[in-house]
Structure 1
Amino acid sequence: MTSHVDARPVTVITGGGRGIGAAIAERLAADGHDLLLTYRERADEAERVADGCRAAGARVELLQVDLADLDAAAQVVPEAVRRFGRVTGLVNNAGITGRIGPFLDGSIEESELVFRINVLAPMVLCRAAIAHMATDHGGAGGAIVNISSGAATHGAPDTYIPYAASKAAVNIMSVGLAKEFASAGVRVNTVSPGTTRTEIHAAAGRPNAPEERAAGIPMRRPGEPHEIAGAVAWLLSADASYTTGADIRVSGGK
């Protein structure tokens, strides 16, 4: 007999302790998901997000991990399975932009780190999640949402071309995975935010970037994290059961 707890979806969210990841966690908790949230630092903030999700009725586990360590990244999904018994969803949200500025001012070392965190870590996590979920591997199916960026299609000149390139790689990886594993019950989609009001811009050296870019956005404002979370929640829901290989652009019209 399946218990109420066993019937709840279990979703892994990388970078779930703040920003867009925290908003996704809060939305999914409200929608009835149990959660494993990864974070790299600022454990107090991650714990506050977890407490808020628990107050909404979710079981929540936290896992500190540096996703630049690909061996550590490979253990995230197995650890979630160990703690919850199964995983039904994965949101690859954690990412970095690198320093904002002209292409020639950046270093190849920084670009390598951007690709390690933004592309290779999600690839490792997708491998683990699909191996667990795929029906032809004994799984029960599931869904993956990879957080991309509007920059993947416009290239982000003078801003962060390596970041844009990394997100373009995420997009095409997601399309390939969606096609390869559709018959095995695993849906893979992307959500591409436009400029959103989070700390990622401060980490890149331009804390006022959302406001600076507002004039170039048709809606004349940056997005808010909860506006991204709604698209992710839909892709993980039964309402999106026939949706795979899609990209939902949440960018204020840009």
Structure 2
Amino acid sequence: MTDETGVPANTPGQSLAGRVALVTGASGGIGSALARRLAESGVDLALTYSEQAEDAEKLAENVRAVGRRAIVMQADFADPQTPQRVVREAETQLRSGLDMLIPAAGVARVTSWKDVDLDLWDRTYAVNTRAPFLLVQYVLQGMIGRSFGRILFFSSVAAFNGGIVGPHYASSKAALHGLVHHLAPRVADEGVTVNAIAPALIAGTRMLPDNPHDPAVPLPIPVGRLGTTEEVADLALAMLRNGYLTNKVIGLDGGLHPD
């Protein structure tokens, strides 16, 4: 099977140059680091943000500076209509179907299990779980038609060990693992891979300090420091390039959880 460029689908070491990606939550530390790396690899980008418009626009300027196209969209993924709007706008403005979907937008409000109310539970699931699935529904058929697709969810170590944010967050991220395991085998022979990264304790994500060696974070991380957004982007890019890797959830947590 070949993709629309005539290259055999899922060829080892396949270049991403000329592909088009949607990265949600692109104004965040992880989303922006990955978007920059994708642009450097020749990828055109549709970027969404929730509140940090200035950061998203600056990122788009950086993408254009390396010769790639970029569009920016505000998106509240708690709204069930947003995923369809974002996909339609991206495909219209970039005049292309989406080859890669990276839903990095998420919410994480630290709350004791005793204090999680219905609004917090529903919003967390809407953004962290429902929106990624709806985005998949709107892009997957096009990927299958082009015999090429990359879907990369962002989970969390909390999906493995419960974490510290709360039950709403941990369970919403664990649900993404179920999506990976359901979707991946059903589209694997169509040139589409479905995976997830489960990072934890990453500096520069608005949840933790920018300095990975900051002594104010006395955490029992085996490698002795926080991770960096560039390290997350490194792994993500390797997964997106690899057509033989699918149906996997890969932890990136400095050895905190033995997957």
Normalising by structure 2, we get a TM-score of 0.86
The two structures, once aligned, show a CA RMSD in angstroms of: 2.4
Q: Which residue of 2 aligns with 1:33?
A: 43
Amino acid at match of 1:230: D
1:201 is paired with a residue whose SS is: coil
Choose between structure 1 and 2: higher helix proportion: 1
Q: Which residue of 2 aligns with 1:94?
A: 105
> Is it true that 1:21 corresponds to 2:31 in the alignment?
yes
Q: Which residue of 2 aligns with 1:52?
A: 62
Q: Which residue of 1 aligns with 2:229?
A: 225
Q: Which residue of 1 aligns with 2:179?
A: 173
Q: Which residue of 1 aligns with 2:254?
A: 252
Q: Which residue of 1 aligns with 2:196?
A: 190
Q: Which residue of 2 aligns with 1:241?
A: 243
2:247 is paired with a residue whose SS is: coil
C-alpha distance after superposition, 1:200-231 (max 9, x if no partner)? 427xxx999x8665431111211111111111
**Cα drift, residue 198 of structure 1:** 3.4
The structure 1 residue matched to 2:118, chosen from 98, 102, 108, is: 108
User: 1:101·1:160 contact (CA, 8 Å) conserved in 2?
Assistant: yes
Identity of aligned residues (%): 33
> Is it true that 1:139 corresponds to 2:146 in the alignment?
yes
**Cα drift, residue 42 of structure 1:** 2.2
For 1:103 and 1:9, how far apart are their aligned partners in 2?
Answer: 42
Higher relative contact order (CA 8 A, sep 6+): 2
For 1:90 and 1:214, how far apart are their aligned partners in 2?
Answer: 35
1:216 is paired with a residue whose SS is: coil
Equivalent pairs, count: 241
Normalising by structure 1, we get a TM-score of 0.87
The structure 2 residue matched to 1:81, chosen from 63, 88, 91, is: 91
> Is it true that 1:125 corresponds to 2:131 in the alignment?
no
C-alpha distance after superposition, 1:143-190 (max 9, x if no partner)? 11001111100012x532211111100111111110111122211000
